[in-house]
Copies of this chain bind each other. A is one copy, B any other.
Amino acid sequence: MYEKYWQQMGDKTTVVIPGWQYMSYFSDISNICWFLEPEFAKQVVRLHKVVGNAVTDGRHIVVGTGSSQLYLAALFALSPSDASEPISVVSQAPYYSSYPSMTDCLKSGLYKWAGEAQNFSKEGPYIELVTSPNNPDGTARHSVVNRNKGILLHDLAYYWPQYTPISSPADHELMLFTVSKSTGHAGMRIGWAIVKDKEVAKRMTKFVELNTIGVSKDSQIRAAKVLKAVSDPYEHVDDSEVGETFFDFSYHSMAERWKLLREAVEHSGMFSLPKFPPAFCTFFNQVSEPRPAFAWLKCENDIEDCETFLRGHKILTRGGKHFGVGPMYVRVSMLDRDENFIRFVKRLSTIRV
């Protein structure tokens, strides 16, 4: 979906990197995160101020090879290093399908996936993962365990104005973001963490050092240029040739797609979608409904396995069991290219019992 926008922007976000630049492991040895490119850090902070979706003052930025790496870095940093058993990692279902396998991939003695947060009853410390807006179902989320010794990790990959009304700057201990969801550049593999605690930022940096000795300089430089192009029009830099702003484009694209999807679901009568309460968005200065990056579709009419049912109608989705819930649910991406999205809603709308 975003490709079209960046094509319209032409050369504005083209990067040119000579062969002799960015050869070193190091970016800024005075920074805790010594492999963080200063220009990328600057554009991250600037974009959060433009959008108003996260507090950055007095925080540490840690860059990662996508927010995936930062999720693992955060688990490493937040786990007690001297515990006799791994700390439990929980999240309210439905949760992002990759979190269990990422967490348990190496059978770590530091942390362990413990599943659905609402059933969690074990005494002692735990890490609760809060994804808001949530992947897969798009709902606004808060911690649900709310006990002593809980450590919160906020995945805010989708807390951008094209997906949800921005209510206030998020102000949590540890927040994860990524360019793949904010601007659509998944191939860059660039994410960032906003971290309150200095020791946590240090340990996350240590993890990335032991995991990949830093993060691609080329992609950090390119990401900086893209984030700059997003912010510039809002701060009236380069007024001469402002076309549609990035968030106007993406807000309207998402709104149009959700309209088409809801029409298709209504036309078919076989499915249902979550309802989202409208809320005031401080960025757009208006009340609007959430428009999540995924549709969390439920099969009605006693269809038990929605993924298999839809595959029979040439619609590829990911079934609910991957997300910790039942097979009557599926997740569908709302960010595919126009032609694929149109094909999807057409197929969906014609499904009958």
- A residues contacting B by CB (< 8 A) are 2-4, 6-7, 9-20, 22-25, 64-66, 68-69, 72, 76, 98, 101-102, 105-110, 180, 184-190, 207, 210-219, 222, 225-226, 229
Q: Which residue of B lies closest to A20 (CB)?
A: B6
Known A14-B18, A102-B210; further 16 A-B contacts with Cβ < 8 A:
A3-B20, A3-B23, A6-B18, A7-B20, A19-B225, A23-B186, A24-B187, A25-B186, A65-B216, A68-B212, A76-B105, A186-B213, A187-B217, A187-B218, A216-B218, A217-B219
| Interfacial chain B residues near A3, Cβ < 8 Å | 20, 23
Question: B226, A19: Cβ atoms under 8 Å?
Answer: yes
| Interfacial chain B residues near A18, Cβ < 8 Å | 6, 10-11, 13-14
Question: A216, B189: Cβ atoms under 8 Å?
Answer: yes
Q: Which residue of B66, B216, B218, B229 contacts A213 across the interface (Cβ within 8 Å)?
A: B66
| Interfacial chain B residues near A11, Cβ < 8 Å | 18
Question: A218, B212: Cβ atoms under 8 Å?
Answer: no
Question: A213, B226: Cβ atoms under 8 Å?
Answer: no
Q: How many copies does the complex hold?
A: 2
Complex: A65 Cα to B219 Cα, angstroms = 12
Question: B68, A211: Cβ atoms under 8 Å?
Answer: yes
Chain B nearest CB, measured from A97 CB (Å): 12
| Interfacial chain B residues near A23, Cβ < 8 Å | 2-3, 6, 184-187
| Interfacial chain B residues near A189, Cβ < 8 Å | 65, 212-217
Q: Which residue of B17, B226, B229 contacts A15 across the interface (Cβ within 8 Å)?
A: B17
| Interfacial chain B residues near A222, Cβ < 8 Å | 17, 218
Question: A16, B13: Cβ atoms under 8 Å?
Answer: no
A-B residue pairs in contact (CB < 8 Å), sample of 7: A3-B23, A10-B18, A13-B19, A19-B226, A19-B229, A23-B184, A24-B187
Chain B nearest CB, measured from A353 CB (Å): 34
| Interfacial chain B residues near A186, Cβ < 8 Å | 23-25, 213
| Interfacial chain B residues near A190, Cβ < 8 Å | 216
| Interfacial chain B residues near A2, Cβ < 8 Å | 23
| Interfacial chain B residues near A102, Cβ < 8 Å | 210-211
Question: B216, A188: Cβ atoms under 8 Å?
Answer: yes
**If A7-B20, A108-B108 touch, does A210 touch B15 (CB 8 Å cutoff)?**
no
| Interfacial chain B residues near A22, Cβ < 8 Å | 185, 187-188
Complex: A3 Cα to B18 Cα, angstroms = 11
| Interfacial chain B residues near A10, Cβ < 8 Å | 18
| Interfacial chain B residues near A211, Cβ < 8 Å | 65, 68-69, 72, 102, 105, 211
Q: Which residue of B19, B187, B188, B216 contacts A6 across the interface (Cβ within 8 Å)?
A: B19
Q: Which residue of B lies closest to A19 (CB)?
A: B13
Of the candidates A4, A6, A184, A217, the one having the most CB atoms from chain B within 10 angstroms of its own CB is A217
Q: Which residue of B105, B180, B225 contacts A207 across the interface (Cβ within 8 Å)?
A: B105
8 interchain residue pairs of minimum CB distance? A13-B19, A107-B109, A6-B20, A187-B217, A216-B216, A65-B212, A6-B19, A22-B187
| Interfacial chain B residues near A188, Cβ < 8 Å | 22, 216-218
Question: B105, A210: Cβ atoms under 8 Å?
Answer: yes
Question: B213, A68: Cβ atoms under 8 Å?
Answer: yes
Complex: A6 Cα to B17 Cα, angstroms = 12
